[in-house]
Homo-oligomer: A and B are copies of this chain.
């Protein structure tokens, strides 16, 4: 079978551009309206996209004054989207730093059951001090500590999903056997950070395990992805950077003893679409003019973990410390510094460039031009697909589905219809067996 693209619709409020909600083509009141998200999920499904994808953050700060915020908690929102769709995958971001593995494993299992096997977990470690403040801490744990916790957290979650073998639910009224307890296993996990006895309190989910997605691109993040991730969401500004990152992730998978084909690399792309290049450019300019600069600078400060507020907008970015010393989002920090230096951007230009996708690549052009970019990254070793981040919602997703997807299909790069029902099937990934299958150890009291 020829290699084909994987495309997620990354849903965020009324659009990914930070000023989207001020643009006349959006209705900002819809951020609290479930039907808005249900319509977006149906549009994604009409375009046979692999999934809808939701980001998350566990705090709100002064930036809320000027910027739209997510209203819904991702898993409850996806459960509500599951009921109005039949095929599209449902990926939620959940932090390993401020949750318990039993709860997270269980909730994703529930979403997978509810949706008939469409759940995916985007694993993040939460990098803001502001988030730590909501969970009894004075600051977020150090970068390496967060990743050590994340690794153990995922190990526990996988054991819990495996704790019910696939055939454990017997449901035989005649004998009164509900579940075969020879096929329901305690996991007995006792590690550095977690002690979890198990089993999980739900039968094995339809996909065996939800799809595991990861979104940190630092060295710790890539090592983690190599071991655990089945899809990696990343921000890459140039083809060369994208190719380098792609190769690094695939190597990390090989180093962890895995088949690199089973780890999909999906950069973000924010397509600003127009019937002509000039129209697309005009839309990008309109959005840039709607940015509130002081707000954007506060956002950028939060994103890279360095206070830049008060900087002169028409001067350059100051010298900044080495990324390896940064305890927040290391890879995003490096990307911003590189972008500003490479293109010799003023602070004002930099926030304009970042406004469209918070560091993700913005491509303004016709559907053909956007399809060309997608094809090029896909065929030249920089991507297995993309997280599509429309600047305006719903219009930007509708434009992508109606005008870009048909081109990708015509080029033989993307499915014409769904051939599977589960998210794993859309990604061409196998359904994992339970590690306990065949291991007939009784659940003990």
Q: In the complex the two chains form, is A34's CB within 8 Å of B114's CB?
A: yes
Which residues of B are found within 8 Å of A169, using beta-carbon distances? 32
Q: A76-B75, A102-B134 are in contact. Are A64 and B32 (CB under 8 A)?
A: no
Segment 126-165 of A: residues with Cβ below 8 Å from B: 130, 133-137
Q: In the complex the two chains form, is A64's CB within 8 Å of B178's CB?
A: yes
How far apart are the CA atoms of A59 and B443 in the complex, in Å?
Answer: 12
Q: Which of B34, B136, B176, B292 contacts A176 (CB 8 A)?
A: B292
Residue of B nearest to A156 (CB): B134
Q: In the complex the two chains form, is A77's CB within 8 Å of B79's CB?
A: yes
Which residues of B are found within 8 Å of A60, using beta-carbon distances? 184, 199-201
Expressed in whole angstroms, the minimum distance between the Cβ of A53 and any Cβ of chain B is 17
Q: Is A226 an interface residue (CB 8 A)?
A: no
Q: In the complex the two chains form, is A178's CB within 8 Å of B21's CB?
A: yes
Which residues of B are found within 8 Å of A100, using beta-carbon distances? 98, 135-136
Q: A80-B83, A178-B67 are in contact. Are A29 and B199 (CB under 8 A)?
A: no
Which residues of B are found within 8 Å of A361, using beta-carbon distances? none
Q: Is A348 an interface residue (CB 8 A)?
A: no
Q: Is A397 an interface residue (CB 8 A)?
A: no
How far apart are the CA atoms of A73 and B197 in the complex, in Å?
Answer: 19
Q: In the complex the two chains form, is B107's CB within 8 Å of A98's CB?
A: no
A79-93 to B contact mask, C-beta < 8 Å, 1/0? 110111000000000
Identify the interface centre among A98, A107, A176, A199: most chain B CB within 10 Å of its CB: A176
Which residues of B are found within 8 Å of A29, using beta-carbon distances? 171
Which residues of B are found within 8 Å of A98, using beta-carbon distances? 100, 102-103
Q: Is A243 an interface residue (CB 8 A)?
A: no
Q: In the complex the two chains form, is A77's CB within 8 Å of B197's CB?
A: no
Q: A28-B171, A71-B110, A80-B82 are in contact. Are A66 and B290 (CB under 8 A)?
A: no
Q: A61-B445, A79-B80 are in contact. Are A21 and B103 (CB under 8 A)?
A: no
Q: Is A225 an interface residue (CB 8 A)?
A: no
Q: Which of B22, B64, B292 contacts A184 (CB 8 A)?
A: B64
Q: Which of B23, B65, B82, B178 contacts A66 (CB 8 A)?
A: B178
Q: In the complex the two chains form, is B28's CB within 8 Å of A178's CB?
A: yes
Q: A28-B173, A196-B136, A290-B176 are in contact. Are A181 and B76 (CB under 8 A)?
A: no
- What would be 7 A-B contacts, judged by CB atoms less than 8 Å apart? A31-B171, A60-B184, A66-B176, A69-B202, A76-B79, A100-B136, A133-B195
